[in-house]
Structure 1
Amino acid sequence: MAETHVLFVEDDDVIREATTLALERDGFKVTAVPEGLAGLQAFRAEQPDIALLDVMVPGLDGVSLCRRIRDESTVPVIMLSARADAIDVVLGLEAGADDYVTKPFDGAVLTARIRAVLRRFGQATAAAAEQKEEGGVLSFGDVELDPDAMEVRRGGEPVALTPTEMRLLLEFSAAPGTVLSRDRLLERVWDYGWGGDTRVVDVHVQRLRAKIGQDRIETVRGFGYKLKA
C-alpha cells in the first residue's frame, strides 16, 4: 500500500522537524516547507494526499494558501493554529479547510485527526453505495445527487464538493426532513465520537448551502439542521 503523502507548511523549525519525524514514524510520507509560496509550489509539484497548513506562515499565509489549494483541488486540508480564537478557526474553515488543530498538539492526536479526515472519502463512498442500493439519483428541488457517480448537480450544472461536503450532503440525504444534531453530524461526518467544536459543522453547512442553495438546508434552532425534502 502506498504511503499517505502529507504536505506540511510550518515556519517554526522545531515544530516542523519534530512533527515531520512523528508523522514519518506513523507511516506517512512528508514534504515539509517553511512558507506559503513554497507550499503552493510543493502542492502543485507533489500532489499530496492531504495538506497541513499553519495559519501564520510568511510569503502566503495559511488561510490564503488554503483558498488557492481549494481553487484547484478537493484534497483534504487541516489548518494548524497557535490560537483557538474563533476568527482564526472560522477563517480557516471558510477558506475550505476540512478541520483544524490547535497548537501545541500531541503527535498522536494530530495523526488521529489526519486519519479521520482521510477516512471521510471512504465513508462517503460507502454511504453512496448504500444509498445507491436504495435507488438511483436522489432529487431535492433543483439539486440532484448521484451516489453511484459521486456527482452533484444543481439546475443541471455540476457542483464541486469537497469530500467533507459530500459526506455531509450524503448524511442529510439519507434522512431528508429529519433534524440532525450538530453532535450527530460531528460523530458521523468528522468521526468525533468524543464530541468536538460545533463551529466546524456550522461553517461546513454554510459552505454547502452556498453550493446547493441557501434554503435547501434548514436551521432548527436549538436542535440542528435538516434537509428539506
Structure 2
Amino acid sequence: MDANAKILVVDDEDRIRRLIRMYLEREDFIVEEASNGNDALQLALENDYAVILLDLMMPEMDGIEVCQKLRKEKDTPVIMLTAKGEEANRVQGFEVGTDDYIVKPFSPREVVLRVKALLRRTSTTVKEVEEPVEQKNMIMFPHLTIDYDAHQVTADGGDVSLTPKEYELLCFLAKAPNKVFNREQLLKEVWQYEFFGDLRTVDTHVKRLREKLNHVSKEASKMIVTVWGVGYKFEVDDV
C-alpha cells in the first residue's frame, strides 16, 4: 500500500473536508479537494486517484451522478459519504459502482481505516491459488478466467470490466468453488468489517457482478449462484 497515495475528498462543507484532510495528511496521504459534483468529476477524470471520498448530497451534481459518469470512464475506488437517513440512496450508490460507504456523522479515524482497507485490497496482487486449475497467477474455469497479475477477468474470451470491489468479490468466491458463504461472511472477508456493514451491500454487488458477466457471457454469469436463505456460491461442475 502506497502511503503517499493521492486521495480526492469531495464535500460541500468546508469543515468536513478540512477534518478529513487533516487526518489523511497525518498518514502521509496526498489530499485534493472539491466542493461540488462538477469539479469532482472533472478532477476524477483528469487525475488518477487511489481513492475518492464522495459526498452523496451536493450542489450541481450529486454523488450518485458523479459515480455513474465516472464509472463509464474509470474504475477508481469510491467511498460514498452519506447522511444517516439516506439509506435508499446508499443502495443506489452501490448499484452505480460505489465500493464502500461511511455514514455521517463519522469518526475521522474510521475514514482513515476505511481508506487504508480499500487501498490494501486494491493495490496488492491476490495471492496465487491452488485450485481448480492454476497457471502462475491465473485461475481458469470453463467459461471464466481470472488473471491475478494482470488484474483482468475474461469470460468466454471477452473482457469483463469490474470495479475493484466487484473484482475482489469474484476472486473470493472463485477461490472456494461450490462453497456457500452467507452475507455476514462476505462482509467480513471481502469488505473486512463486521459490525457496521449493510447486508444489502453484498446483494447489490452480486447483482452488478452478474449483470457485467452476463453482458459478456451468460454461462459465466450463471456461476454466481444464490443459495436461498443462506447466501451465495461460485458453482463449478466437477471441482
**TM-score normalised by structure 1 residue count:** 0.90
Offset of residue 86 of structure 1: 2.7
Q: Conserved in 1, the CA contact under 8 Å of 2:224 and 2:233?
A: yes
Q: Conserved in 1, the CA contact under 8 Å of 2:20 and 2:111?
A: no
Offset of residue 80 of structure 1: 0.4
Q: Which secondary structure does the structure 1 equivalent of 2:72 belong to?
A: helix
Count residues in correspondence: 227
Offset of residue 149 of structure 1: 3.0
Q: Which secondary structure does the structure 1 equivalent of 2:126 belong to?
A: helix
More helix by share: 1
Letter in 2 for 1:219: T
Taking only aligned residues, the RMSD between alpha carbons, in angstroms, comes to: 2.1
Moved more, 189-198 or 91-100: 189-198
Moved more, 175-184 or 136-145: 136-145
Moved more, 186-195 or 77-86: 186-195
2:230 maps to 223
**TM-score normalised by structure 2 residue count:** 0.87
Moved more, 14-23 or 89-98: 14-23
Letter in 1 for 2:189: R
Q: Distance in 2 between matches of 1:143 and 1:162?
A: 17
Q: Residues 134 and 195 (structure 1 numbering): CA distance in 2 closer, same or farther, change over 3 Å?
A: farther
Superposed CA offset, 1:84-110 (max 9, x none) = 433111111111010000111100011
Structure 1 residues without counterparts, runs of 5 or longer: none
Q: Does 1:126 align with 2:126?
A: yes
1:29 maps to 30
Offset of residue 146 of structure 1: 2.7
Q: Residues 177 and 95 (structure 1 numbering): CA distance in 2 closer, same or farther, change over 3 Å?
A: same
Q: Distance in 1 between matches of 2:150 and 2:30?
A: 30
Q: Conserved in 2, the CA contact under 8 Å of 1:140 and 1:228?
A: no
Letter in 2 for 1:225: Y
Q: Which secondary structure does the structure 2 equivalent of 1:130 belong to?
A: coil
Letter in 1 for 2:174: S
Letter in 2 for 1:74: D
2:10 maps to 9
| Matches for 1:27-176 after TM superposition, within 5 Å | 27-122=28-123, 125-127=125-127, 129-131=128-130, 135-136=134-135, 137-176=138-177
Offset of residue 134 of structure 1: 5.8
Identity of aligned residues (%): 38
Q: Conserved in 2, the CA contact under 8 Å of 1:167 and 1:189?
A: yes
Offset of residue 59 of structure 1: 1.4
Q: Which secondary structure does the structure 2 equivalent of 1:97 belong to?
A: coil
1:192 maps to 193
